[in-house]
Every structure is written in structure tokens, then in C-alpha cells.
Structure 1
Amino acid sequence: MTVKRSGKGFAVDVSGNALDARSLIKQFTSDVDTATKTTGTDAVSVSADVNSLSGFHDEVLSNLKLDYSAAGSRVNRLKVSAAASSGAAITISNTAGNGARALTMKSADAGAILRFLNIYEHMEGGSITLALSGTADGPMRGQVDSSNFFIVNEPKLASIVSTTPTGDSRSLNEAVKGKIDTSRVKFERGFTEIDKGSGYLKLANGVLRGPRIGTTFQGTLYDQNNNMDMTGTFMPAYGLNRIFGELPLVGVLLGNGRDRGLIGVTYRLKGNANKPVLDINPLSVIAPGIFRSIFEYR
């Protein structure tokens, strides 16, 4: 490592065999209010060429090339290229200037990069593209799109399947007369629009689509008080149900659009974001798609 004084800041050049990146990740992934507001004036630029980079959940990236610039706690520039343990390419870019900020991330191993960044630990494989933009000190909006991945041992997914709704004596598994195994679920696509501001994260028009399970979702993932308020529709046997949605006439009458199945239940997750309370509407399990919106939580 070499450190040189450059005006009122420092230029750091790092090279080596291994580096623990968790402290840098925490700053980069922190909320907008702490990541964009400057608490000091010292400028720091970092250039790194490291063979092995350690992140969260025991994920390690290789062949890291990093270009980083910050003033105080404000990240002005971050460009990263690396490879996951699977060999998949990963690129991250965070740029700021002229009062605007843009963040993009691409990876051919979505699960690896999300675990590495400590964003989500229940995803395996797949590709992912994230694109957000906004003002330097304001919310960032955009979307995330992923494909061909697995969700593994997700407790919220297991709760939706196994919980017995108020007013009904059956769980969703019992209602559809089948055993829905949520330990490892394949999805063909995951998509949501994102609104990320000071202390909050809101999602809209979200959909997870797979041959066995499909779900739509929207709402506040967490707010300034760490509360969640998410609603959606959960559809078992999605590969079969979506056939109705693909048929021109039947799809309009019953499928309620291409991303809706014929049979499903509406749900709500509300309360503390770490342990939200799950509420399921028992009536919607027998309702065709076009009527399901009547029972959705608002």
C-alpha cells in the first residue's frame, strides 16, 4: 500500500493477495442519508488491484480492480470489476456529478454478489441487473431485474405457505391439495421498481415468476422506524396457472394479466421489518384473477 498526500486529501494505491472489504461495503451500502451527506472535507481516492476480496457470508471475489473516490462520507465514484467464485463476471459503478448520482450493478451470479454485499442471503445463482439514479442528496429510483435463480430456505416464503389464515382451518398447502416445498424454489424472473431514500426502501410492481411458485408484491420494505408494510398475491403451481393468463380471452377474464395466475391468495406483511406479522386473506384462495383484486389489501 502507498499513501500520498494530494491537496487536502489522500491518494491510496493498494495491491496484494487478499483484502477484507466489509468495512468499505458497509459505507457503500448504507442509507442515502449517511452515504451522501458529507461529514468531513477530506478527499480520498483508492485504486486497488487485489487477487482475493472477502465480503459477507463467506463470499470471496477474485481479480478485483477497484477505482474509488470519496469526500468525507460522500461516495463520488466507485468502479469495480471482479469475478465470483463461480467465475461469473461482476461490475459495479457508482458515479456522482452535477447534482446527480447513478448506481448500476451487473452480475452473472446474482446470489454471490448479493451475499457478498450483505443485501440478501437466500438467493443462489442467476443473473442480475440493477440501475438506480437520482439527485446527489435525494432519493434514488430505478429497477432491479434478475433471471434463472433459486430462492433457498426463505422463512417469509415458508410462512406464506404454512400459515393458517384467520377465518379458515387450512393452510395454503392444504387449500391447493399439494405440498409446496419452499426449501429450494426456482424462479425464471424477478423484477421490481425501487424507491430508495433516507432510511426507507419502497418496492412497486414486483413479481417473482417460476414454474412452481409465482408472487406479486409492492409496498414499503422498511421505513425510518424499521417498519414493513408489504402486500401481494401468492400463486402456487404458477406454471400451470399462467397458461390461463396467456390465452387472449380467458387471460383477460380470469388471468388478470400475464403476471397473474388463476388461483392464489393475497397476503400482507406488516410490523417490525425484522419480524413482520403475516396476514392472509382466506377468501382469495378460490377467486379467479379478475376478482382477486377486490380482496387485495390496500
Structure 2
Amino acid sequence: MTDAVSLTGLRGEFSSRGGFSGRFDAAVNGGAPVSGLVVPDRDGTAVRITGPDAGAVLRSAGLYGTATGGSLDLTLLPEARPGHYAGSLDVTGLRVRDAPAVAQLVDAISVVGLLQQLDGKGLAFDRVLAEFNLTPDTLEITQSSATGPGLGISLDGRYSLATRRMAFAGVVSPFYLVNSLGSFLTRPGEGLIGFNYTLGGTPEDPDVSVNPLSALTPGLFREIFRRPPPN
């Protein structure tokens, strides 16, 4: 799929009649099991991948090492250049623990109960949605959200598959179950009250910056003051 992420041990049944198509079972980088469907598309072959353990898939792909559980539904649509895809991700029931970047975000907005969850069974996210572009060396997230009862997070920006460096920006919204009551005025994953943040560094050693004054900006007007993702 890319230089850093591959499907190994692939077994399936395929046909070239009317374009390459079929179904398969495989493992992500020799780890998490997934199933897939391939169908012809304008610029090549489109792929849909599903898995019973989204956390294991993220760990095997080297994208997120502390997520567990959840079901995964991933779609990749080929673009004109080889190895370039437009994609979408839908994960339900994901749990995250011992995550340095999330811990820094939660600590910055002083939500002690959520920090305890991160150190214990993990912080639960009911739904994770993402739209992205994938190249052989870069994952560009154009829009994403992770929402659970205690926290909502939006994020966009770039992640280098080669250097593992992040350049993201977004909004973190505490107490999302209540805070999201006005979410029709905001982006997915953002409540009426949210803190703008930037995220750099690597997943193991993140560099998080939170603007506490941004919580005073109503969600309706947040786009006016939103900073672009860092380079």
C-alpha cells in the first residue's frame, strides 16, 4: 500500500473480467487481521478494508500504538499517480490509553477525571471519522473527529510515514456529551466550548500547544480564528 504499510499473507479470490475485482483476507504488516474487497475504479483499483480490531490495525500500521478494540471500515480510492489514494476511515468503539499527545491535551485543559481514565482502562471514543489523502511517504488528514462522552477532538494536518513527525491542528472539547448540544454550529468533534491546539513532534514525543483563550470564542465563530496546521 505504501513503503511503511503493507498487506501480508494475502489470500483471496480475484477476477480480471470487467476489471480487477475480488475479496481477500490479509494481515497489516504481518500483524492485525483484516478482510477486504477490491473493485475497478477510474484510476485503478479501489479497496475497502474492514477489521474486528481497529486498535490492532493502527498499531500494526505504526500509526497509533496505544489504541485497543473497535471495528474498522477503511476505503481507499486510487488517484492518477501510483501509490496515491483518497481515503475515508470509520471506527466505532475505540479505546485509547497511555497516549502522550492526548494526555498533554487533557492536562492542558485541566480535566483530571479524563487523565485518570487514560492511565486506567482508557479513554473511550464512540466514533472516529476521518477523510485523508495517502501517498507513499505522507498521510494528510483533511478532516477528522473522535468523539466520546468525555471528550471530542477534531484534527487536520500531515503525518510523515518516513520520519513519524506530526504537523496537526484542531480543537479539543471537554465533556463532549453535554458540550456537543450545539454541534450543528461547529465542525464534527467540536462542541460549543473548545480549545484550539497544535500538535507536532512524534507520537512517542509529542509537542502540544493549547490556546486557553480560544475557549472564549463561540463555536459559531471558531472558523474565523482557526489557525492552519503547522508545516
TM-score (norm 1): 0.60
Deviation at 1:277, TM superposition (A): 2.3
Paired residues for 1:1-298 under 5 Å? 30-31=3-4, 66-67=11-12, 79-80=24-25, 90-93=34-37, 100-134=44-78, 135=80, 137-162=82-107, 171-173=108-110, 179-181=113-115, 182-183=118-119, 184-222=122-160, 227-245=165-183, 252=185, 256=186, 259-271=189-201, 275-298=205-228
**Which has the higher Rg, Structure 1 or Structure 2?**
1
Aligned mates of 1:141, 1:203 — CA distance in 2: 10
**Contact 1:207–1:215 (8 Å) recurs in 2:** yes
Q: Which runs of 5+ in 1 are unaligned?
A: 1-27, 36-45, 49-64, 70-75, 83-88, 163-170, 246-250
Quote the Cα distance in structure 2 between the aligned partners of 1:116 and 1:68: 24
Percent pairwise identity: 26
**How many Å separate the matches in 2 of 1:228 and 1:119?**
11
Write the deviation string for residues 4-61 of structure 1: whole angstroms up to 9, x where unpaired: xxxxxxxxxxxxxxxxxxxxxxxx55259xx7xxxxxxxxxx9x7xxxxxxxxxxxxx
Q: Deviations over 1:195-245 (max 9, x none)?
A: 011311100120001100001110112276654210000001000101233
Q: Relative contact order: is structure 1 or structure 2 higher (C-alpha 8 Å, sep ≥ 6)?
A: 2
State how far apart, in whole Å, the 2-side matches of 1:130 and 1:31 are.
Answer: 17
Partners of 1:242 and 1:285 in 2: CA distance: 14
Give the letter for the 1:30 counterpart.
Answer: D
Contact 2:85 2:134 in 1 (8 A): yes
Provide, for residues 145-185 of structure 1, a one-character-per-residue CA deviation record: whole Å limited to 9, x for no partner.
Answer: 111221121111001122xxxxxxxx311xx6x53223311
* Unpaired stretches in structure 2, ≥5 consecutive residues: 15-20, 28-32
Q: How far has the Cα of 1:120 moved from its partner?
A: 2.8
1:179 match: secondary structure: helix
1:67-120 deviations in Å (ceiling 9; x for gaps): 499xxxxxx9982168xxxxxx84135678986133321023222333345443
- In structure 1, the partner of 2:18 is none
Distance 1:98 1:125, change over 3 A: same
Over 3 Å counting, the alpha-carbon distance change for 1:145 and 1:260 in structure 2 is same
- Change in CA separation of 1:81 and 1:197 when aligned onto 2, cut-off 3 Å: closer
Distance 1:235 1:140 in 2: 30
How large is the RMSD of aligned CA atoms in angstroms? 3.5
How many residue pairs match? The answer is: 212
